[in-house]
Structure 1
Amino acid sequence: MRLDKFLKISRIIKRRSVAKEVADKGRIQINGKLAKSSSTVKIGDVLTIQFGNKTMEIKVSELHESTKKEDAANMYEIIAENRNE
């Protein structure tokens, strides 16, 4: 599944266009490597995402083509969440 689509469906980022923009600015890594919006996400991958002054590290646990709001949180597991000062 494409990175931007995963971020939208899992509701980590609300809009796919915003997810694409964040990825293309070099703020997302998959397994320690810089990722583009078209990068492929697989189960078990670790994503590191920079949101302004916050960095999130998540592990992909499920992939779905679409989800309900309550099921979206099951698609990933938060490993770490840090504030950048």
Structure 2
Amino acid sequence: MRIDKFLKLSRIIKRRAVAKDLADQGRIEINDKRAKSAANVGTNDLITIHFGNKTLVVRVLKLAEIVKKDEAQDMYEVVSESYQQDDKEG
């Protein structure tokens, strides 16, 4: 399954176009390798997403073409979530 589609179906990212843009900007990695929006993801893959000052790492648990909202979280598990502080001094 394409990474942009997985992120949308799992509701990690609300819109596929946003997931595609993040991937095309080099802010998504699959198993520590930079991923394009068309890159395939499989079960047990680690996905790292860099949102501004937040980094989210999730493990893919299952793939599904049709997912209900309350089942979306069953597609992945959060491995880590970290925030980077701004080091600007004022």
Both structures adopt the same fold (TM-score exceeding 0.5): yes
In the TM superposition, what whole-angstrom CA distance separates every residue of 1:7-40 from its partner, at most 9, and x where no partner exists?
A: 0000000000010000100000000000000000
Mark the runs of 5 or more structure 1 residues left unpaired by the alignment: none
* SS of residue matched to 1:49: strand
- Determine whether 1:55 maps to 2:55: yes
Structure 2: give runs of 5+ residues left out of the alignment: 86-90
Number of residue pairs the alignment of both structures matches = 85
Amino acid at match of 1:76: Y
Query: How far apart in 2 are the matches of 1:69 and 1:52?
Result: 26
RMSD: 0.4
* 1: CA distance, partners of 2:4 / 2:32: 17
Map 1:1-85 → 2, pairs under 5 A: 1-85=1-85
Per the TM alignment, residue 66 of structure 1 is displaced from its structure 2 partner at its CA by: 1.4
Q: Deviations over 1:23-69 (max 9, x none)?
A: 10000000000000000000000001001110000000010001000
In the aligned structure 1, how far is the partner of 2:2 from the partner of 2:31? Answer: 15
Secondary structure of the structure 2 residue equivalent to 1:78: strand
Rounded Cα–Cα distance in structure 1 between residues aligned with 2:78 and 2:65:
21
> Could you tell me the percent identity over the aligned residues?
55
Name the amino acid aligned to 2:48.
Answer: T
**Matched position secondary structure for 2:72:** helix
